Amino acid sequence: MMRLRTHLSRARWFAGLVLLCLAGLIGARPALAHPEIVRTEPPPDARLATAPAVVRMTFNEPLEALSTLALYDSQGHQVASGGGRDPGDPTRLTLTLPSLAPGIYTVVWTAAGSDGHVVRGNFAFTILGPPSAGTEPTPGATPAPAPTALLEGTPASVPADPGFPLAQSAVRWALFLGASGAVGAWVFWRWALLPACGPNPAPERLVRRWRRWQQGLLALVILGSPLLLALFVRESLGRLDAPGLSAGLQTRQGLLLITRMGLAAALLALLTAARDGAAIRRLTPGALVLGAGLLLTYTLAGHAGASTRPFVPVMLSWMHLATTSVWVGGLWCFVLCLPALRSTTGPSGTFLTLFGRFSRLALLSVPVLVLTGSGLAFHELPSLLALWLSPYGQALSVKLLLFGGMLALGAFHLLLVRPRIGRADGAPWVEQFRRSLPAEASLAVLVLGAVGVLTSLAPPTAAELLARVAPPARPTAIIVPTVTPGPTRTPVPSRPFDQTLPAGDLLVRLTVSPASLGENQFRVEVRDGANQPVAVQLVRLRFAMREMDMGETILEARPDGEGSVTLSGSPLSMVGNWQISVLVRRAGLADTTVVFEVPVGE
């Protein structure tokens, strides 16, 4: 008994200290949903009379130390590297440049946000004048035609669609499964199963099964946390090595993941003393404090923790996750108990009492989930249109549909099964319940899968949503690259590009002139099978370099009434083969995309 009290006392002190530290992180620094560019020096597409000495990028929130900045010339050679977060201003990235010869240069950047989201991009600028006197020009730079006046670039503002974060979503799914199931298991045992057993001790078989279940769930948290950190480091730096992991451990995400592992390990240690129902009852308060801290690490590491004023969203998110754990974790434990509660003579009193007590827990969870979920959606979504116009909103819509399925099955169990299951002729309903309860538990697993996707995606901003609904008439650009070094390009001759390709029921013609480095004119014509112009709502061009994964640039605009559009810009900043994907949007029809391979010469 003395040893048990010592375990409980230590667990409470440890949990209290951790919660105090986590509470400090709530207001540690303001942040937004994900890093966004406020200003770049030089501006995108700038044409400079003299070479700059430094590149600076300012963002709307402080960045993590994993953020990087590098410069490449038009041949794909890395001219300058080692840029990163400014020690004097965490919202700024800086890169000191060597002497640069006239030519086109591409700045490639990576911004790691405090919520674990990594935003990548690039922009190009042109140097028209000679390098500084007394220094050697940068080798490999390609001269560009020199206008007579200095022109200023236009900042990029149209967002590019990121790829689906499959690996991160899967790891986060496992982490949510582990934490929600572990916390919910303690609540289910203390307030559902033990009262259902009454004065009788809990069956030893159930205790063993419950402890093994808990150990498996906590193992997911302990093993998944360093894996998520590794993915964060790899996505930020483009590599995974000891220095990168060391830097990752010093970020906000790294500290929260370490804390999460410590809390999960403490819960795992607490299980060693939970060998019977009485011990579980006494250990539950300490376990719930540890569990509250464990769930708080998820909230602080997510979108709510990266808010400008984080207190209210963090509390809403924590309540939402804690209530989810009560329902979902209890549901899984109920399924776990079904074989041990099976009776050949009909449902036992323990089974009926357990059914009633868990139904009350689930019933109390529903309004809390609805209210907190609505509050979070109001905080994170700029408009209801985001539910189907953004990847984040689409993932949220899937989660809501799955949650609706859980509600339907829960209502079926509460309103139809429960009143009939205790009758003399209720045996068929008992069997029905044994089949339908695992179905509800499976839906809960899928709901947490949707949560894993949600936390791996950044919520859309109002500007991004507006760009999807009403794209600007004048094309603008933004780039979202994955930075990997590529081989040197073999120079190819510059010649205009003109090609027509079929795309479903359409014919799409793309002309690029002069199809060389720097400023180009892009014209897209959309016609039907009879060679007649087609009315379209939007034309979007997405540019990607084939020889070097340096990101994507987007140009988009509304076409004229003849089904054609002409855009100008400088997304072709390196010699080599470019892939230009042309998206055509028509009213009431699915988007059509066709891909062109365009060689770009000097």
Q: What is the mean pLDDT of residues 504-527?
A: 90
Share of the chain above pLDDT 70, in %: 81
Q: CA-CA distances (angstroms) from residue 137 to 99, 130, 131, 144, 572? A: 6, 8, 6, 14, 22
Highest mean pLDDT among 261-265, 374-378, 573-577: 261-265
- pLDDT of 475 above 50: no
CA-wise closest residue to 328 among 469, 426, 485, 217: 217
Q: What pLDDT, on the 0 to 100 scale, is given for residue 131?
A: 55
Tell me if 37-127 shares its fold with 486-600. Answer: yes
Residue 389's identity, in one-letter code, is L
Which region among 123-132, 194-203, 219-228 has the lowest average model confidence (pLDDT)?
A: 123-132
Cis peptide bond N-terminal to 143, omega within 30: no
Q: CA-CA distances (angstroms) from residue 120 to 34, 92, 108, 343, 544? A: 11, 14, 8, 59, 14
Q: CA-CA distances (angstroms) from residue 442 to 445, 451, 529? A: 5, 14, 48
In the chain, % helix, strand, coil (3-state, to 5) comes to: 45, 20, 35
Q: What pLDDT, on the 0 to 100 scale, is given for residue 342?
A: 66
- pLDDT of 523 above 70: yes
**Residues 331-375: tens digit of each pLDDT:** 999 999 888 776 544 456 788 888 989 999 999 999 999 999 999
Q: What is the mean pLDDT of residues 66-77?
A: 89
Q: What is the mean pLDDT of residues 48-76?
A: 89
pTM of the model: 0.76
Q: What pLDDT, on the 0 to 100 scale, is given for residue 123?
A: 85
Which region among 152-156, 213-217, 395-399 has the lowest average model confidence (pLDDT)?
A: 152-156
- pLDDT of 474 above 60: no
Q: What is the mean pLDDT of residues 381-403?
A: 88
Q: What pLDDT, on the 0 to 100 scale, is given for residue 352?
A: 85
Q: CA-CA distances (angstroms) from residue 272 to 9, 177, 214, 443? A: 15, 21, 11, 31
Contact in structure between 461 and 35 (CB atoms under 8 Å): no
Nearest-angstrom CA–CA distance, 445 and 438:
10
Cis peptide bond N-terminal to 195, omega within 30: no
If one compares 560 and 441, the residue with the highest pLDDT of the two is 441
**Residues 163-200: tens digit of each pLDDT:** 678 899 999 999 999 999 999 999 999 899 888 888 88
If one compares 427 and 457, the residue with the highest pLDDT of the two is 457
212-217-220 Cα angle (round to 5): 130
Nearest-angstrom CA–CA distance, 552 and 573:
12
Strand ranges inside 113-263, DSSP E? 118-127
CA-wise closest residue to 116 among 307, 251, 317, 262: 251
Q: What is the mean pLDDT of residues 388-399?
A: 89
Domain ranges of the chain: 37-127, 166-463, 486-600
Measured in whole angstroms, the distance separating CA 377 from the mean position of its chain's CA atoms is: 16
- pLDDT of 8 above 90: no
- pLDDT of 29 above 60: no
If one compares 110 and 309, the residue with the highest pLDDT of the two is 110
CATH superfamily placement of domain 486-600: Immunoglobulins (2.60.40.10)
Residue 227's identity, in one-letter code, is L
Paired tokens of 284: 């539950």
- pLDDT of 476 above 60: no
User: Domain 37-127 is in which class?
Assistant: mainly beta
